[in-house]
Amino acid sequence: MIRILDFDALSPEAFLNRDIQAEEDVSAAVDTVIAEVRRNGDAALRNFTRRFDGAELDMLRVTEAEFDDAKRSVSRCFQETLEEAAENIRRFHERQRHNDFIIADCPGIVMGQRWMPVEKVGVCVPRSPEAFPSTVLMNVIPAKIAGVGEIVVVTPPVRDGSVSPEALTAAQLAGADAVFKIGGAQAVAALAYGTESVPKVDKIVGPGGIFVATAKRKVFGQVAIDMIAGPSEILVLSDGKSNPRWVAADILSQAEHDVLSSSVLVTDSRELAEAVQAEIEAQLETLPRKSIALRSIEENGKIIVTSSLDKAVEAANRIAPEHLELCVDDPFALLPRIRNAGSIFLGRHTPEALGDYFAGPNHTLPTSGTARFSSPLGVDDFMKRSSFLCYDQAAMSGCADRVADFARREGLEGHARSALSRKNF
């Protein structure tokens, strides 16, 4: 049963269990996988796919025929859903584009900034139990908008060597350049270092379990990564007027992800807290992933009762959840007071699941309290910027003494001489 706790009685450490690190054996196993992929390339990928996914593969890359078969096997209704979701995602992310700028308001001086796309990106798409077409759309579409030159998707196959037709259809719709039938730490290693078949990329994005997260941490520096994603989280902030059946369903929508997922209700109504507690028990009985959701609820779920909505907002900011639902009469009045959250869902008719699949804002979000200092995946994550500057002779001569003085105060005579060599040339 999910616990009901009083806000004023909680210590800071009791708000959410986020002390989740890779065990030493996981770290060692990932080191072994990365080393093997670097040493043996495609052969290692085939061996790990046989060992971890039970699939024998001749070709690691999805063929055009497989894409065609996938599209034929997906219902027209779902293809239309994918198309509408993709359009919503594009429309939202198009607004994130940056403009270059130039400053030329001083004689002889020009400076500015250029935005450029990352050249090659790898997208990890987990399988649980099927590869997620939503993850494909949410990662590939912003990369395409940014102008990334090559986008490679990796996702593990099922035992017969096939990949979810829905995921393949989404990859083709979103504009991925290739899909490879590999997953786990071995896929991360392949993207980071390259193999005979898998191209080496510049950045790796996308979610995964502890092995993928650990591998991304280990290859960071060789390539860029988006984030180290932890278990999924939801915080529902509600007054006493919400439908307890809806709130319970939203809580369970995250609990079914993983036994480590954290689902929290914060409310100023003990009556709602008790009603939601009962609803969760009832709804669990018919949930297909009951065993996962039950353990998640019992180990990481909680209902926090506060004395006011002000205190509820304080609790939400302290937890800094991945997903935050504001189930109150006027959610827009609370919105300016939310400082820490990955994505915010406003009102009683806006469940988190809407953002997962369809609405448009990205569903790859900061977890584990990192919403205090990081942001959802977006077009920026697939771009880099360079600054530039140009001084003519007079402008450089005019500031050479100041540059040299600055350099000498930092003990760098070579810098000083470089600047002074242009003075009165």
Find the catalytic residue in 36, 322, 325, 352. 322
What's the CA dihedral at 345, 287, 21, 323 to 10 degrees?
A: 0
Q: Active site includes 322?
A: yes
CB under 8 Å to 151, separation ≥6 — which residues? 120, 121, 123, 140, 143, 144, 175, 176, 177
* Gap between the Cα atoms of 363 and 377, Å rounded: 8
C-beta separation of 57 from 46 below 8 A:
yes
Catalytic residue of the set 323, 325, 352, 363? 323
List residues bridging with 234 in a β-sheet. Answer: 263, 323
Spatial distance between the Cα atoms of 139 and 204, rounded to a whole number of angstroms: 10
The conformational region for residue 145 under phi > 0 = left, psi -120 to 50 = alpha, else beta, is alpha
CA end-to-end distance (rounded Å), the chain? 80
3 state SS of 96: coil
Query: What is the spatial distance between Cα 406 and Cα 400, in angstroms, rounded to a whole number?
Result: 10
Strand order, beta sheet including 101-106: 101-106, 109-117, 383-391
Q: Which of 184, 220, 217 is nearest to 203 (CA)?
A: 220
Q: Phi and psi of 328, rounded to 5°? A: -140, 170
**What token pair was written down for 20?**
């989740």
Place of tokens 């390259």: 194
Neighbour count for residue 389 (Cβ, 10 Å): 9
Type of residue found at 81: T
Q: Does the annotation mark 13 as catalytic?
A: no
Residues 6 or more apart whose CB falls under 8 angstroms from that of 304 comprise 5, 6, 7, 10, 15, 264, 265, 266, 267, 312, 315
Structure tokens at 227: 């984030």
Long-range contacts of 294-297 (CB under 8 A, 24+ apart): 294/255, 295/259, 296/254, 296/255, 296/256, 296/257, 296/258, 296/259, 296/260, 296/261, 296/262, 296/263, 297/1, 297/2, 297/251, 297/252, 297/255, 297/263
Work out the number of other CB atoms within 10 angstroms of the CB of residue 37: 29
Question: Which positions are annotated as active-site residues?
Answer: 322-323
